[in-house]
Every structure is written in C-alpha cells, then in structure tokens.
Amino acid sequence: MARIDLDHIRHSYLPNPASPSDYALKEVNLTFEDGGAYALLGSSGCGKTTLLNIISGLLTPSEGELLFDGKPVTELSTEARNIAQVFQFPVVYDTMSVYDNLAFPLRNRGVPAAEVDQKVNEILRIIDLESKAKRKAQGLTADEKQKISLGRGLVRSDTNAILFDEPLTVIDPHMKWVLRSQLKHLHKQFGFTMVYVTHDQTEALTFADKVVVMYGGEVVQIGTPDELFRRPQHTFVGYFIGSPGMNVLPCEVDGTVARIGEHTVPLQVGLDPNKSAKKTEVGIRPEFVKLGGAGEGLPLKVNAVEDIGRYRILRGEMDGVALNAIVGEGENIPESPTALFDRAQTNLYADSWLVSEGA
Amino acid sequence: MEKTANNKAWFMVLPVLVLVAFTAVIPLMTVVNYAFQDSFGNNQFFWVGLEWFQELLASERFHDALVRNLIFSFTILAIEIPLGIGIALCMPKKGWGVPVCLVLMALPLLVPWNVVGTIWQVFGRADIGLLGYFLNSLGINYNYTQDPVAAWATVIVMDVWHWTSLVVLLCYAGLVSIPEAYYQAARIDGASRWAVFRYIQLPKMHSVLLIAVLLRFMDSFMIYTEPFVVTGGGPGNSTTFLSIDLVKMAIGQFDLGPAAAMSLVYFLIILLFSWVFYTVMNNAGTEKKHYAGEE
C-alpha cells in the first residue's frame, strides 16, 4: 500500500513528439493518497488507460517521474513495483486450476508452499470460489474469471495498489452490481489504494471517493462525485457527468450578467478583466432549470418530453442551442414554457474552464 | 419447434455425391477390387481372397519400408514442431518485419515438390552443389548417392526446409491471436519467460499444433516426390519409403493385386495414426468441454 505521485508525467506513443497534439497524455500532476479509492473517468481515447499503464509500468512515460511513497519508481519493472492490475477482459491461465491461478504470482516470487496455501485459501474464500478451487479456469463464467484476475492481485500481501482497467465491461449487468459492491467491501477490508478506469459515470461515482475526470490527455477535474456535479471545472465534466449532461449556452458577458441572444441571465461572478477569453459560455444543469410561463424567462422550444419514471426530461432548444430541463412527475409544463436559471447553480465558463469567485 | 422434413432436399446434394463417387469412392473400390484378385495380362482376373494381405504382412520388404517411414515421420516431427514453435516465437508481431517474415516463410511452401527434390539433388552434389562441395571441402565425406547416412540426412533436412514453414505459420497464427493483456498480466504476476510460454503461449497454440502434427505426420508418411527425385529410394533400399515401394510394386513390377493390398493397409495405418494423434492431443480439450458442460 502506497501513495502514488505522478510528477509532470507526459507520454507520447510517437518516437519524436513535437506538438502538444502528439501527446496521448499531456502533462499530468496527480496524487493518489494511500488507501484511497479513485476512479479515472473519461471517454475513449482520453488517455486513462495510458495513465494506468504508466502507473503499473507496462509503459514508460516519455517525460516525468512516478513516485510510490516518495520513492521514484519510473525506471522499475512491472514486477518490481508490486502492482496488481485487472484488465478489461478477464485474464486467466486456462490450463491451470483456479487454485493454481491464484498461487501463480506467489510461486513466481518463491513464496514457501505453506504460506501460498494459506494465502490462496484465504483469497478463495474472499472471492467466493472455494467450491471451484480444483477446477480448470477455462470453463468458468466471465465474472468468475474476472474474480480470479482480481484474486491474483489480492493474493500478494505487499501489493502497492490495485489498478482496474474497465474491469466490468464483459460482465452481465446484474453481476456488475454484485462485483462492484464486493470491490467496495474489499477496499474497506484491506485498504488498498485502488485506481479504477472507466467510461461509465455510474460506475465511477459509486466506486470512488474521488473521481479524476480526463479529457483529451489532460486531467480536467479531481473531486468528489458531489463536486463534479455541482461545480464542473470544465464544460466536458459538466457534459460527461449527469444524465442528461449540463446545458452549455454560448453567451456574452457584461459585468455579472450573461447575454444569450436578446436575453439576460444573472451570474454570481464576472470575467476576470485581466484575462481575455475567446469563448464564453453559461453552464447549468437540467436539474436547476425551472419552467416558467411566457415572459418569465428564456423562451424554450420543446422538442420532446421523456418520462423516465421518477421524473421527466424535457428536451428543448433555445435559439438553436439544446437546452434540457428536468421536470418533476406532478409538475405542469406550460403551453409556451420559458427557462428560469437558478442563479446559485449557474456557472460561467471562459474558454471551457470554470470562472470561479476570486479568480 | 418441429423440423420440416422434405426429402426432396437430398436431390440438392446429389451433384456433390456423384462428384465424390467419381473422385474418391469409385477409385477406392477399384483398389479394393484389385486387392482380392490376381491379374494376368489380357484383362484376366481371378479371386485370391486374402492371399495378398497375408503375403504383404509377412513380407520383410514391407516391414522395412514401414519402419523406415515411421523413423522418418517421427524424426521430422521431432525437428519441425519444436523448430517451428521456436521460429514463430522469434517472429515480430508488428511492423515491417511481419510481411517480410511471412513471405520468407511462405516461399518454400510455394515450390512444387519435384522442384524441391531437384533443388536439393543439385545442392547436395559434391561436384556442382554448394552444400555438397562445402561439406566435402571441410573434409566430411558427404555423398548421398552412396552413403545411406548422407542420403537420410539429405532427405530429412530437405523435408525440414520444405515444411517447417507450415508449422511456423500455424503457430504464428496461434500466437498473434493472444491478447496483449495476457502478457501484461504475466508481467504483473512476475512470470518467467518459460512460464509465459508454458501457461499462455503453448495452451493458445494447442489447437493449431494439433493440426500441424496431423498434417505433417500424414504428409511425411505419404512422402514420395522429394526422396524419389533426390535418391530414388537408394542407396540400395535405404530411403525407400512406403509410397516409393508401392509405386515400384504397382508400376515397376505391375503387381496390381499386391500393390492394391498394400495401398489399403497403408491407408489404414495412416488412419489409425491420425486417430491416435488426434485423441491424444485432444485429451486436454475434451477435459475442458467436460468442465464447461458441468455447471
């Protein structure tokens, strides 16, 4: 168990990267606290797997340093780092029994047989595969195989961290819930540092204490699920987290008032006069858009209303820009509705980054 | 759901059945027919029962050819399979080297068999052949037309040259189908190079290796053209394999009855060996199925 620091890590898959766009991973400075449960969230190709492979040593970063508990490990081999990694597709050694699969990492490190037996039996109990210990791994179901992959990481007592690379992709939906709660449970029990890569926001938000959102090879925000929801630091976070995502409307800023076409929206903050912004946008979550009658707010053209059970999603537009609102089950949708923004929840973005007070 | 039975559908497969009958069944039956009869010129045949079979099975000439053939087949299997696996493991998995290696590997397979024989016949000659001249100038007395050991070495090396590529290509196909995550997991588990081979690569190559062993066994057991071109079965009878012997008997001596009986026995031996190989190598596979169906 260890704290993991990424210090100015950059990585390019090209031999001679020149421009920033050549980097799969633009400069990342990040700390995973010892015993924390982190999720790396982002869409495909945002660099999250690259980051994970750099931590586990499967990739050596082009630049920067990786530290475990303050000790540099950038040059260390994967084996020497004592990392466990669970991959998207379950990796089991087909010809070995379940027992031998779990014993494999220990035997490779020359652990005495008695200790191997004790550890493996303990893990078999934890991952609930005791009854299948003697069976070949080949014929097991996907979730059982994935448990073995996980078990091979847990079996080593000196594991620094367990990394998960979209481990539940091939698991049946109902087993996903079971495995995810088992993971949470294991995290509480063992206190491993866990880093979980996913593009599924539900998975990230339920698993992790802290979520690291990545976009285009950069970390755009690190925060608790609540912070990501209320104060997205970047329009991508707003769009990516939440269903539907945050409404982002291009605007012009005048003091602490945003002008969207002919309409105005009051803001909590204004632009920093010392900085020039090419693009300014207003962001508000559909949850904080209230409906009003004609003349009360911004005119809204309703395209569709989706009833998803507990509430309804109103899919609309304003001057050609999508604007969604969440409407309660009992709430009435006026004939020609307008959108009212909750000022406290209205965020201003300059060049896609949140403008916050005092900035 | 009830199956629709329409016996007219059988007419659809009739063309194939007729084709197979003409190409396989009828020739085979002709051989069976010959095997139980003696023939004289002028198209006269009369029934001899199992006489040819008894004669064949008691014949030393047949025994010798069979033993030679078995030694040959097992020798080339023992060389080509490990060598093929080894080369496949060394081949690059991506980049410009892949097509280069694949083309180089496929080259021997594209050479017609009699040409392979001719190449090696010339290659091994002491006067004009590169190999023969080189070996002899090193002081090794190498002459495949007179020395049985040299003849055997030539025939085996020729077969290895010709067919190891097949094993390589099959194994390579098995290797490239292994997802990268397996190697990464093995590194994380601290597996040695040997363990990676034993527990990841070999199991994944299992089914292609089965095909490779079967193909190479059947082919080498039926080998004819290359040794016939190089050594003609000699010196003496030292490289006379079953098929060469068979042709000598059928065409050379025109003993159609004994040759037909030998063909049938030959066929049954190949069938038997192939079945044994298949069963033995597939053992692990059936075990897997057994487990999978156990749930």
The DSSP output letter for B32 is H
Report in angstroms the alpha-carbon separations of A248 from A291, B56, B88, B175: 17, 91, 55, 49
Tally Cβ neighbours within 10 Å of residue A54: 23
Categorize the per-residue pLDDT at B293 as very low, low, confident or very high, splitting at 50, 70 and 90: very low
Categorize the per-residue pLDDT at B3 as very low, low, confident or very high, splitting at 50, 70 and 90: low
Residues A32-85 have pLDDT tens digits of 888 888 888 888 878 888 888 888 888 888 888 888 888 888 888 888 888 888
The answer to whether residue A1 scores a pLDDT higher than 70 is no
Q: What is the mean pLDDT of residues B21-50?
A: 82
Percent of residues, chain A, with pLDDT higher than 70: 99
Alpha-carbon distance of B75 to B68, in angstroms, equals 10
Residue of chain B minimizing CA distance to A150: B185
Categorize the per-residue pLDDT at B19 as very low, low, confident or very high, splitting at 50, 70 and 90: very high
| 193-232 of B, contacting A, C-beta below 8 A | 195, 199-200, 203-204
Alpha-carbon distance of A222 to A215, in angstroms, equals 12
CB pairs under 8 A between A and B: 67
Q: What is the mean pLDDT of residues A269-282?
A: 81
State whether residue B54 sits within 8 Å of chain A by CB. Answer: no
Distance from CA of A84 to the nearest CA of B (A): 6
Q: What is the mean pLDDT of residues A336-340?
A: 85
pLDDT at B63 (0 to 100): 87
Q: Do A88 and B181 touch (CB under 8 A)?
A: yes
Residues A184-208 have pLDDT tens digits of 888 888 788 888 888 888 888 888 8
Alpha-carbon distance of B167 to B105, in angstroms, equals 10
Residues A107-128 have pLDDT tens digits of 888 888 898 999 899 888 888 8
Tally Cβ neighbours within 10 Å of residue B255: 18
Q: Do A108 and B191 touch (CB under 8 A)?
A: yes
The answer to whether residue A148 scores a pLDDT higher than 70 is yes
Percent of residues, chain B, with pLDDT higher than 70: 94
The answer to whether residue B58 scores a pLDDT higher than 60 is yes
User: In terms of residues, how long is chain A?
Assistant: 359
**What is the residue type of B227?**
P
Percent of residues, chain A, with pLDDT higher than 90: 1
Hey, is A13 helix, strand or coil? coil
Contacting residues for B178 by C-beta, under 8 A, at least 6 apart: B200, B201, B204
The answer to whether the beta carbons of residues B199 and A93 sit under 8 Å apart is yes
The answer to whether the beta carbons of residues A11 and A54 sit under 8 Å apart is yes
State whether residue B95 sits within 8 Å of chain A by CB. Answer: no
Looking up tokens 């400069």 gives: A27
Q: Do B189 and A108 touch (CB under 8 A)?
A: yes
Alpha-carbon distance of A168 to A146, in angstroms, equals 8
Report in angstroms the alpha-carbon separations of A108 from A285, A334, A358: 52, 69, 56
State whether residue B182 sits within 8 Å of chain A by CB. Answer: yes
Q: Of A195, A157, A79, A76, whose CA–CA distance to B188 is shortest?
A: A79
Contacting residues for A217 by C-beta, under 8 A, at least 6 apart: A23, A24, A25, A26, A46, A47, A50
Residues A242-255 have pLDDT tens digits of 888 898 888 888 88
Identify all chain A residues contacting B181, using CB atoms and an 8 Å cutoff.
Answer: 87-89, 91
Distance from CA of A91 to the nearest CA of B (A): 6
Report in angstroms the alpha-carbon separations of B148 from A16, A290, B95, B237, B291: 60, 98, 45, 9, 51
Residues B167-221 have pLDDT tens digits of 999 999 999 989 888 998 888 888 889 999 988 999 888 888 888 988 898 889 8
Q: What is the mean pLDDT of residues A215-240?
A: 87
Mean of the per-residue pLDDT values for chain B? 84
The answer to whether residue B74 scores a pLDDT higher than 90 is yes
Distance between first and last Cα of chain A: 37
**Which pair of structure tokens corresponds to residue B61?**
């000439």
Q: In what order do the strands lie in the sheet with A257-260?
A: A252-254, A257-260, A263-266
The answer to whether residue B252 scores a pLDDT higher than 80 is no
Reading phi first (left if > 0) and then psi (alpha if -120 to 50, else beta), residue A136 is in beta
Q: Which residue has the higher pLDDT, A305 or B291?
A: A305
Report in angstroms the alpha-carbon separations of A257 from A53, A248, B81, B271, B286: 45, 16, 78, 88, 74
Provide the b/e sequence for B275-286 (b: ≥16 CB within 10 Å): eebeeebeeeee
When CB atoms are compared, the residue of B179, B188, B292 closest to A89 is: B179
Residue of chain A minimizing CA distance to B197: A93
Q: Do A87 and B185 touch (CB under 8 A)?
A: yes
Give me the residues paired with residue A4 across strands: A32, A68
Residue of chain B minimizing CA distance to A103: B189
pLDDT at B291 (0 to 100): 42
Residues B255-286 have pLDDT tens digits of 788 888 888 888 898 889 888 888 887 775 54
Residue A76 φ/ψ, nearest 5 degrees? -75, 150
State whether residue A154 sits within 8 Å of chain B by CB. Answer: no
Categorize the per-residue pLDDT at B72 as very low, low, confident or very high, splitting at 50, 70 and 90: very high
Categorize the per-residue pLDDT at B2 as very low, low, confident or very high, splitting at 50, 70 and 90: low
Q: Which pTM was predicted?
A: 0.74
Distance between first and last Cα of chain B: 26
pLDDT at B1 (0 to 100): 53
State whether residue B292 sits within 8 Å of chain A by CB. Answer: yes
State whether residue A58 sits within 8 Å of chain B by CB. Answer: yes
The answer to whether residue B295 scores a pLDDT higher than 50 is no
pLDDT at B79 (0 to 100): 95
